[in-house]
Amino acid sequence: MPEPDYKIGQLIKHKLFDYRGVILKVDDSFKSTEEWYNNVAKSRPPKDKPWYTVLVHNAMHTTYVAERNLDMDDSNGEVIHPMVPIYFTTLNNGIYSKTTNWVNGEPTINPEIGLS
């Protein structure tokens, strides 16, 4: 599998849909279902290359995006998303630092936070 071009906490922009976001999770290859791929991934990006879970700026949702559809976002502007303060702290040179809400490299939510 190829090494991913982006890493957790990095700012990105989507090439096709022109939104900004921050990388929450990196998969070395496509990890969702065939049904999702057939219904959502209309451009049919390769499954054997990295895919990313992205917190979308000025939105409440995440997206799952193939690497070929991403570019670096060099604006260094903060991403406004309700999950950013749970998983990230300061933004420096286009990369957020992680909070302590990570276990073995995976984002986790402490049950005491009370998200529903």
Tally the residues of the chain.
116
pTM equals 0.90
The C-alpha atoms of residue 8 and residue 1 are separated, in whole angstroms, by 18
pLDDT at site 110: 63
CB neighbours of residue 91 within 10 Å: 17
Q: What 3-state class would DSSP assign to 80?
A: coil
CA angle (43, 49, 51) in 5-degree steps: 75
Share above pLDDT 70 across residues of the chain, in percent, rounded to a whole number: 93
Q: What is the average pLDDT value for the chain, to the nearest integer?
A: 91
Residue 71 pLDDT > 60: yes
Per-domain boundaries in the chain: 11-105
Q: Comparing 78 with 113, which gets the higher pLDDT?
A: 78
Between 24 and 110, residue with greater pLDDT: 24
Among 3.30.750, 2.30.30, 2.70.98, 2.60.120, what is the CATH number of 11-105? 2.30.30
